[in-house]
Chains A and B, each alone.
Chain A
Amino acid sequence: EAGVVQSPRYKIIEKKQPVAFWCNPISGHNTLYWYRQNLGQGPELLIRYENEEAVDDSQLPKDRFSAERLKGVDSTLKIQPAELGDSAVYLCASSLARGATGELFFGEGSRLTVL
């Protein structure tokens, strides 16, 4: 069974440029998460989807970040315009909707470098 797939793995852009990350969760997982992991830190939740609905986006900087999960499967996270402080690894994760055991399945992440 395929795991959570993310692309691109690496992205280098200049500040003020836009960037987008794509995530395909594990088949059948209704819940999808975007986390940001700064260097030397643990992941921090940006947004959580239950199917198509964003149920927790309180940590998403809405002035420059946006996300969508139009058909309740794949998701895209966009940053426009990017700032130097956005350099981080963006992790996508998915989980089954039922239960709350906290077992999240993570992708390998998209490493963003903003110059």
Chain B
Amino acid sequence: GEDVEQSLFLSVREGDSSVINCTYTDSSSTYLYWYKQEPGAGLQLLTYIFSNMDMKQDQRLTVLLNKKDKHLSLRIADTQTGDSAIYFCAEIESYNKLIFGAGTRLAVHP
């Protein structure tokens, strides 16, 4: 079945860039997503990219998609302490059915 894999942990210094990586298996996914989960909260959609794009930029966020390698990344510029959270990569298996990775815990330190 479909599978989404992510590294589990990333630690960065405040002000640096963070890059969170993800690999997925379903080449037919029309959209790929990044969700953010803060402690004790539900997931919140951060950004998404359509599969015919290779890059999407939204303020401090840059999403890169390499369809050939089935690789998705999320870059957060000027990372702040408020960015500390778990970031989930997800692919869409069928109509609104998302397959999530295990999540990457981002820790931002001064």
Contacts and interface: CB of A to CB of B under 8 A. Distances in A.
Interface of A: 4, 31, 40-45, 48, 56, 91, 93, 95, 100-109
Contacts of B88: 42-43
B100 A43 contact: yes
A42 B4 contact: yes
14 contacts: A42-B4, A42-B90, A44-B100, A48-B97, A56-B97, A91-B43, A93-B42, A93-B43, A100-B31, A100-B95, A101-B48, A102-B48, A102-B98, A104-B45
B96 A43 contact: no
B28 interface: no
Interface of B: 4, 8, 30-31, 33, 40-45, 48, 88, 90, 92, 95-98, 100-103
Given A100-B92, A101-B31, 19 more contacts: A40-B8, A41-B102, A42-B4, A42-B88, A42-B101, A42-B103, A44-B100, A45-B97, A56-B97, A91-B42, A100-B30, A100-B96, A102-B45, A102-B90, A102-B92, A102-B96, A104-B43, A106-B44, A109-B42
Contacts of B48: 101-103
Contacts of B30: 100
A107 B42 contact: yes
At the interface, is chain A mostly helix, strand, loop or mixed? loop
Contacts of B40: 108
**Interface residues of B, dominant DSSP:** strand
Given A93-B42, A108-B40, A108-B41, A31 B96 contact: yes
Contacts of B4: 42
Nearest to A92: B42
Nearest to B41: A108
Nearest to A109: B42
A106 B96 contact: no
A7 to B, nearest CB: 13
A93 B43 CA distance: 9
B102 A43 contact: no
* A44, A91, A100 — most chain B CB neighbours (10 Å): A100
B23 to A, nearest CB: 14
